[in-house]
Amino acid sequence: MSEKKYFDEMLNADGSVREPYRILGEWLEGQPKQALKQLSQDAETIFRRLGITFAVYGSNESTERLIPFDVIPRVISAHEWRRLEKGIEQRVKALNMFLWDLYHNQDIIRAGRIPEKLIIQNEAFCPQMMGLNPPKGIYSHIIGVDIVRTGPDDFYVLEDNLRTPSGVSYMLEDREAMMHLVPDLFHKLKVASVETYPENLRRTMQEMAPESCTGHPNLVVLTPGIYNSAYFEHSFLADQMGASLCEGQDLFVENGKVYMRTTLGPQRVDVIYRRIDDDYIDPLTFKPDSMLGVPGLFDAYRAGNVTLINAPGTGIADDKAVYTYVPEIIEFYLGEKPILKNVPTYNCTSDSERAYVLDNLEHLVVKEVHGSGGYGMLVGPTSTKKQRAEFAEKIKARPDNYIVQPTLALSTCPTFTGKGISGRHVDLRPYVLVGDKIRITPGGLTRVALKQGSLVVNSSQGGGTKDTWVLEE
């Protein structure tokens, strides 16, 4: 056997199939290459008909592309999922407690467990939220936690997404496509359902209705509009929940209350799932030149007349520099050790750690603190000498603007390529809803790096998606 650098989620070191993949492995053995190729073409036809696209910024080609989809699902055992579920629940509880504390007493800062400068001088911190009490003390109601695997029992949280996590529509449509394409496989395996997500999202939003709401809460999804890269998802979720899809111009504030313009006259709005960044939601409070938001919306929120999901200011809890303190945050608020590990992270503001980083860039991953989508990052092992030199200068100029991590040996899953089945690196984004209870959808969105050897799974950087099958007992 040749040496194995990466954990293969399907195969043991001796080439035998791991138990969670046994039935899938037998099914794949019986599939000629042409059958898998046909399945891939059928899947593309489905997604093209649905119009599931995403934007690629800075591309010379058409900016709208179909999300690449792999027809071989990723399988997670019930035992593996239980551990992930416990770790995710612990994490989102602690992060919501952290947000409450930051916008009230700031006990964690007073205790010296997190630097004041890291919070107060952070552009993700929202001073306008100080002293505001969101319904039931919850700031982030919709969370995506990015997880990578490096071994049979080794899971790491790569980052937390507490602002406006995207991708859940791909998770739902991937499942819909697979149920249509391979119904026989679903009959052989007990796969946990993901289809209840829209209903659970609607329930979560209803639970967060302001106290002033009487009767059935009126729910709205607030979108920047059709040119946003995630507009398909905004429209999809509104439709699935039976909520209204609105742009800023469709809403207005009067006497501290939010209303939606309709052909039957103004309708009071109680809960807004906003897919617009903090800076743009209200030109009277934040960016004065914003054309996307609703004038007076934040004052209506402060007055308790409408609920914003997620709350403004949640971004401070998923800031990449704050990420390094999440194990500390869990211990401070819950008195527990983290169930899921953080990726070891170098602090470039430390002279010794910065010196190590600059000497070893070819082995490390560098990320902008406020970067996302795979942009503004350096993957050392696949970078050029020139790129490393450029990033070295950037780190020297703004050491606080970057975090640096070792290159993780991301696990691989079997993936159908033009040349047959081959292992490709994957990550996982489970979706969490926080209302009267914490609801975690079994599995989530598996993103796959379709380029051989690539560790970058973002769709904007050439990645695709897979359906994620969590097996029930």
**pTM for the full predicted model:** 0.92
What's the confidence (pLDDT) of residue 55?
Answer: 57
Residues of the chain with pLDDT > 70, as a percent, come to: 95
Burial label for 232, CB within 10 Å (0-12, 13-18, 19+), is: buried
Q: Is the pLDDT of residue 417 over 60?
A: yes
Quick: pLDDT tens for 355-367: 999 999 999 999 8
Q: Is the pLDDT of residue 2 over 60?
A: no
What's the confidence (pLDDT) of residue 454?
Answer: 80
What's the confidence (pLDDT) of residue 89?
Answer: 98
Quick: pLDDT tens for 77-125: 999 999 999 999 999 999 999 999 999 999 999 999 999 999 999 999 9
Q: What residues contact 142, with CB distance under 8 A and at least 6 apart?
A: 164, 165, 201, 204, 273, 309, 310, 431, 432, 433, 434
Q: Is the pLDDT of residue 168 over 90?
A: yes
**Distance separating alpha carbons of residues 92 and 17, to the nearest angstrom:** 34
Radius of gyration (C-alpha) of the chain in whole angstroms = 23
Quick: pLDDT tens for 344-357: 999 888 899 999 99
Q: What residues contact 307, with CB distance under 8 A and at least 6 apart?
A: 134, 135, 205, 208, 209, 210, 270, 271, 272, 301
What's the confidence (pLDDT) of residue 67?
Answer: 82
| Domains of the chain, start order | 19-210+306-338+409-470 (no CATH), 211-305 (3.40.50.11290), 345-406 (3.30.1490.270)
